[in-house]
Chain A
Amino acid sequence: MFYLVEFLKVLKENVIVAFIFVMSSVAVVSVSHNYKGIEAKLSNVSTKNGQPYFNALVSDGVRVDSVVRRMKSLPGVVGVETVKSLAIKKEVKTLEKIYGTDLLKNLVSSKYKKIKIELKHGLKLKNQTLIKEYLQRLIGKESVTVGNLKTPQKVKLEKGNIIQIITSWGKWYLVSILAGLWLISLALLVKPLKKSSYIMEKFQRSNHNFFKMFGVGLLSIIIPAYIANVAYAPKVDLIPFAAMLTMFGIVLLTSALVKK
């Protein structure tokens, strides 16, 4: 109790740092307990960025303006884009893998246009099929090749969208930020705690007061945080214990390394 009171006094004298330390400690425990849920939430956020779409390769002779206009008016279609024949060579190469080199030769010898049809999020498979069938009917089955529906995540990664790549690593950024905040606040708290423990050791017959104070103080933060997390989402996992042990290890290391 004595060490806890001293720890709280030091926190009271360093309010801002103490706030960051307590919040980041609680957050580390919460994130390590709910890491699966957080990972799922972050991945959902990343998929919202793009629209699901499919491509259609159309013979160069077909007039696509009216097709585009009609497709745009369809319910469930968000947007329609046309791409010139030169730009689709890359796309044709990918078709080689699916249909073989013989077909590729024929494809390269002829000219094509690409129509990209963007669909609404969560559109049912039945409706997607209807839209594809409508497109085939408009152009004629012989003159059009319709591709599969692509998911937004794949779209973004294929396009090299940096935001998508960054958000796919979201949990690690979160962990890094929390760990950074915790370490910075720890470093800022070490000096006043070290002074306090030094004075204690000078006037009381006790040793290792820094670790005792910090240990008791940290326990008083992370144990209630862990209990609250377990009460909210009951499960037993090793990761929160590993996180808490790491925190303790760092405090122990600090108490050994930092001079009074």
Chain B
Amino acid sequence: MREVLLGSKKNYQNLKDQFVFYLDNVSVDYGNCSALKDITLTVNPGEIFFVTGKSGAGKTTLLNVLAGDVKPTKGRVFGVDQNVRFISQVFQDLKLFEHRTCEENIWFSYDRSLYKNKNEFRSDMLELAKVLGIQDKLGDKVKDANGGLKQKVAMLRALMARPNVLIADEPTSSLDKESSIKLFDVLNFYNIKRKLTVIWASHNRELVKTFPGKIVHLENGKLIYSGHACFI
């Protein structure tokens, strides 16, 4: 899917420091409908990157292109190998297993190559759940959970995978402003502490303007603005 730029180890080191993704004139068509039109942008390592726009502007398509789930109709996507730079996602439809508990859903992120043992994973999970205020609800079935809890579980699952890049599609659509800020604080912490690159799509432009980071604004699949929030 994504074109991998890994000529040599040295070459990779240079590229790794330069960008996470580079989109070169990317267009995506679904039949006659054009979802993205000639998008050129760069996502740098350790950056918090907001994608804003109204519903149907092409935010999800752009995120799917970055995640490698959608192939561009035109243009090229450059990214670094998934095995080296791991991408984790918070899906718009969350993709949680309704018949399982919140905790069981989070356990999908348990990777033996990252954690020494299950206890380490469990303690990390409880710690993060405490920060998000859902430690008492981990035993609840997802089908019985409210929208806010589901989104927090999806975010927790994504973070527990210890990714290098986090792609989050409308992660705060069911959350109030206070919870949204709390969630952003968590991501900001991971960004500073672990150099996590965050790509966050939201239709709530006013909310993301309050956060530090880079904003890309889309309208009808076209890139209208790209720059820091403070300059809007």
Identify the A interface with B (CB < 8 A): 9, 13, 195-196, 198-200, 202-206
Q: How many interface contacts (CB-CB < 8 Å) are there between A and B?
A: 33
Residue among A9, A205, A206 with max Cβ neighbours from chain B (10 Å) = A205
Q: Is B210 an interface position by the 8 A CB rule?
A: no
5 A/B residue pairs, CB under 8 Å, sorted by A = A13-B99, A195-B97, A196-B97, A203-B111, A203-B157
B108 touches A200 (CB 8 A): yes
Inter-subunit contact B86/A205 (CB<8 Å):
yes
What is the size, in residues, of chain B's interface with A at 8 Å between Cβ atoms? 18
B86 proximity list for chain A (CB < 8 A): 205
Q: A195 CA to B94 CA in the complex, in Å? A: 12
B-chain residues with CB within 8 Å of residue A13 when the two chains form the complex: 97, 99
Nearest CB of A to B44, in Å = 23
Binding site of A, secondary structure by majority: helix, strand, loop or mixed? helix
The 8 Å CB contact of B88, one of A200, A202, A206, is: A202
In the complex, what distance in Å separates the CA atom of A204 from the CA atom of B82?
Answer: 11
Instruction: Tell whether, in the assembled complex, residue B161 and residue A203 are in contact, meaning their CB atoms are under 8 Å apart.
Output: yes
Contact B83 A204 (CB under 8 A): no
Interface centre among A198, A202, A205, A206 (most CB of B within 10 A): A202
> Of A195, A202, A206, which one neighbours B89 at CB under 8 angstroms?
A202
A13 to B158 CA separation, bound complex (whole angstroms): 23
Q: Mark B81-96, 1 if CB is under 8 A from A, else 0.
A: 0010010110000010
| Closest residue of B by beta carbon distance from A196 | B97
- Bound Cα distance A205, B88 (Å): 10
Nearest residue (CB) in B for A192 is B97
Instruction: Name which residue of chain A comes closest to B158, CB basis.
Output: A203
The listed residue (B89, B97, B99, B161) touching A204 by CB distance below 8 A is B161
